[in-house]
Amino acid sequence: MTVLETAKKMIDYSHGNLHDINHFMKVYAYAKMIADGEQLDPDTQKLVEMTALVHDIACPLCRVKYGNTNGKNQEKESAALIAEFFKDSNLPQDFTDRISFLVSHHHTLDQIDGIDYQIIIEADYLVNADESHFSGDNIKNMYDKIFRTETGKFLLRSMYQNCLENETL
């Protein structure tokens, strides 16, 4: 399965929910940009891009089951959905297992264990900060405590310079 095939399948999976589609496509764009900037090897690049596309796969289920898309509920419901989504792909099991792990932890900031995880956290945050109108304090806190990649930090500084302009970053 290619990144393009994953994107097409995820768009179809979203049943015309433009908010969901636009969200994961924006996260994909930032994740790809950060991964490019961090010069990942091709396999990790593909893993990051595919994870970004499917990172919110549990949102439709969570809306029905819980009435919201709370991050912890998404994490709880993701593994089974990821397994089903990739079951007929030609991807190695360890590859889809890592996607499942990342998707099942993409709202957990205190267990980041690799550059792939770091990039997913940063890309999703860049989109969520805009969509959810995060405060300047929240943005500064994320910059100081969570963002680690040079490309992600550049993007956050550039996009939210008004929030961070009084800081020496």
The CA radius of gyration of the chain, in Å to the nearest whole number, is: 16
Q: Is 30 exposed, middle or buried (0-12, 13-18, 19+ CB in 10 A)?
A: buried
Compute how many other C-beta atoms are within 10 angstroms of the C-beta atom of residue 131: 12
Q: What is the pLDDT of residue 29?
A: 98
Tell me how long the chain is: 169
Q: Could you tell me the two tokens for 24?
A: 């994961």
User: Is 39 in a helix, a strand, or coil?
Assistant: coil
Residue 49 has pLDDT above 80, yes or no: yes
Q: What is the pLDDT of residue 169?
A: 43
> 77 falls in which pLDDT band (50, 70, 90)?
very high
Q: What separation in angstroms does the CA of 50 have from each of 21, 137, 144, 157?
A: 14, 31, 27, 26
- Please compute the mean of the pLDDT values over residues 3-21 and round it to a whole number: 97
pLDDT digits (tens, 9 = 90+) for 137-168: 999 999 999 999 999 999 999 999 877 765 54
Looking at domain 3-164, its CATH superfamily turns out to be Hypothetical protein af1432 (1.10.3210.10)
Q: What is the pLDDT of residue 162?
A: 79
Domain boundaries, the chain: 3-164
